[in-house]
Chains A and B, each alone.
Chain A
Amino acid sequence: GAGVSQTPSNKVTEKGKYVELRCDPISGHTALYWYRQSLGQGPEFLIYFQGTGAADDSGLPNDRFFAVRPEGSVSTLKIQRTERGDSAVYLCASSASYNEQFFGPGTRLTVL
C-alpha cells in the first residue's frame, strides 16, 4: 500500500516568510510524528500527535513552529517568520502499533 507522503519535496523560501509542510500518513495510523534533520545530524523530534491532538510538542524549538492535524489524518507543520537556521529536512512518520514508525521521504526546506 501507499506509504507516508510529504509535500512539497523541496521548498525554498526567503527569510521572514511563512511556510507550510504537509504530511499524509499511512491510512489508519493514529500516531503521527514530525522530526527535523539538520545537515550531519540524526532526526530530532518536534511533535507527536495521537489522533487529532498534539500529545507532545516538547520538541518544537519556539513559538514560530506550529502543527495541526484537524481530522486525525493529514498534518501540516507551519513555520512563521522563517530564519536561515530553520533550513533542514523535515520528516514525518506515522505509526499504528507504537512500535514501528514509518517515515516519509521528507521535505527539504531552504531559507535564503
Chain B
Amino acid sequence: AQRVTQPEKLLSVFKGAPVELKCNYSYSGSPELFWYVQYSRQRLQLLLRHISRESIKGFTADLNKGETSFHLKKPFAQEEDSAMYYCALHGGSNYKLTFGKGTLLTVNP
C-alpha cells in the first residue's frame, strides 16, 4: 500500500522567512514524488517533481529515501506563495497519484 503523510494542516510564516512543508511517504518500491499547489480559486497544478531536480518559484524538494521524505523548501517566502500544497506519490505502471491531506501555507506581510 502507498501512503503520503503531511503532518501539518496549517503553516503560517512571515514574508522573507524560510519555509519547509513536510512530506513523508510509505511505498515498497521506487516511487515518484510530486508537489502540487492550489492557489485560491484556481485548479490544482504541478509545482515540481523529484525526477526533475529543478527549482520552481524558488521552491526545491529533495527525495530522501532513507527517511522516506520529500520536504518542500523555500529560503524566503513571498506573500504570493500562500496556497494549499499537496505532496503526491505514484508508483507502479498506471501512474495514479496518492495525495497527502495537504498543508495550507499562509505567508503574512
Contacts and interface: CB of A to CB of B under 8 A. Distances in A.
Nearest to A41: B101
Q: Which 5 pairs of residues, A with B, have the shortest CB-CB distance?
A: A42-B99, A103-B44, A45-B96, A56-B94, A105-B43
A102 B6 CA distance: 22
B95 A43 contact: no
A107 B83 CA distance: 20
Interface string B11-36: 00000000000000000000010000
Contacts of B98: 45
A61 to B, nearest CB: 15
B97 interface: yes
Given A41-B101, A42-B86, A42-B102, A98 B43 contact: no
B45 interface: yes
Given A104-B43, A105-B43, A43 B96 contact: no
A33 B90 CA distance: 13
A56 B96 contact: yes
A63 interface: no
Contacts of B56: none
Interface of B: 4, 6, 9, 32, 43-46, 49, 51, 86, 88, 94-102
Interface string A74-112: 000000000000000001000100111111111000000
B49 A99 contact: yes
A105 B49 CA distance: 21
B101 to A, nearest CB: 5
Contacts of A99: 32, 49, 51, 95
Among A4, A42, A103, A105, the most chain B Cβ lie within 10 Å of the Cβ of: A42
B46 A48 contact: no
Contact of B96 (A3, A41, A48, A91): A48
A75 to B, nearest CB: 15
Nearest to A58: B96
Nearest to B6: A42
Contacts of A100: 46, 49
Given A48-B94, A55-B94, A56-B94, A43 B99 contact: yes
